[in-house]
Amino acid sequence: MQVHGKSDSAAAVEAADVPSEASSRLDVAMSTRLLNSLKILAYSGHVSARLPGGVTFLIQPQEKSRAEVSPDDLLVCDLDGKVVSGPSGVKPPSEVFLHCEIYRARTDVNSIAHFHHDVTNVFTLVEDVPLLPFKNHAIRWKSGIPVHADPAHVDDAERGRGIVATLGPHHAMQIRAHGQIVTAETVRGVFIDSVHLVENAEAAYRAAAIGQVKPLTEAEIESFSHGFRRGHHIRKLWNYYARGAIRDGIFPETWNAAT
């Protein structure tokens, strides 16, 4: 299924300007270790990056610890979830199909994170407190954060297409009683958005504990959007988190310096 009626060849054309494979390998490895260190991405969950040509992507092996993923560990998969290249005998995550089908349908998406963050997911477990934009940087999700009703693992193409139908044109979604999916134009964008998605949920959770929650109004979203520079914001926060990770020994400085 193609959400926007576009074929794989259309994906190839629009994704022609994605970064080199070498650069994306570094960014996926760093983002994976960063999200793990921030306790957003734990023993499962994954980050992927569309490769030049548009119809293959990088993703980590199923079994590799998220704290130890390195650029050379990453697999290249096609949009059917088959491994095109990578260490022999190594499988992609069982939920690789959510990445496949989102890349097939959403040519604006060049990176995807999927994780299972408990506080964020709490909002799928109650009737009347949806996860809405509460904090300023949650303007990213002003169009909504849809919830997929089926908590199953996305372990085949049909379930992947179901995820695409729920995601629609939005930039993040939740799977009920399961986890989150974040999409963006770059790996670093997906990393920063994942941080903000969790911050927004944790703030809303605390607010709900002490009173009636007040999500951002349309006027407030418009006000914060005015003058907001996404590219600058991503560069600033990436520098902050990457420099901290290097100091803490989470990944080597040479990885960040090489991109």
Q: Name the burial class of residue 256, with classes exposed (0-12), middle (13-18) and buried (19+) by CB atoms within 10 angstroms of its CB.
A: middle
Structural Rg of the chain based on CA atoms: 18
* Residue closer to Zn ion, measured from CB, 64 or 135: 64
CB 161 within 8 A of CB 1: yes
What would the two tokens of residue 155 be? 């372990």
The stretch among 77-85, 101-109, 179-187, 193-201 that binds Zn ion (CB under 5 A) is 179-187
Cβ at position 92, least distance to Zn ion in Å: 13
Q: Does 179 bind Zn ion (CB under 5 A)?
A: yes
The stretch among 47-55, 76-84, 87-95, 134-142 that binds Zn ion (CB under 5 A) is 87-95
* 175 Cα distance to chain centroid: 13
CB 36 within 8 A of CB 60: no
Going from the C-alpha of 124 to that of each of 34, 42, 133, 144, 212, the distances in angstroms are 25, 19, 15, 14, 18
Residues between 188 and 247 with contacts to Zn ion, criterion CB under 5 A: none
**234 Cβ neighbours under 8 A, 6+ residues apart:** 186, 188, 189, 192
CA dist 102 and 108 (Å) reads: 10
* Residue closer to Zn ion, measured from CB, 86 or 179: 179
| 121 to 160: interface string for Zn ion, x by CB under 5 A | ----------------------------------------
* Residue closer to Zn ion, measured from CB, 25 or 178: 178
Cβ at position 227, least distance to Zn ion in Å: 36
CA dist 226 and 211 (Å) reads: 29
CB atoms within 10 A of CB 137: 19
* Residue closer to Zn ion, measured from CB, 66 or 135: 66
| 13 to 52: interface string for Zn ion, x by CB under 5 A | ----------------------------------------
CA dist 45 and 50 (Å) reads: 17
Cβ at position 45, least distance to Zn ion in Å: 7
Asked whether the CA dihedral 131, 33, 69, 236 is positive or negative, the reply is positive
| 92 to 111: interface string for Zn ion, x by CB under 5 A | ---x----------------
Cβ at position 97, least distance to Zn ion in Å: 11
Cβ at position 46, least distance to Zn ion in Å: 9
* Residue closer to Zn ion, measured from CB, 147 or 207: 147
State which residue has the least CB distance to Zn ion.
Answer: 179
* Residue closer to Zn ion, measured from CB, 17 or 43: 43
Write out the residues near Zn ion by the rule CB under 5 A: 95, 179
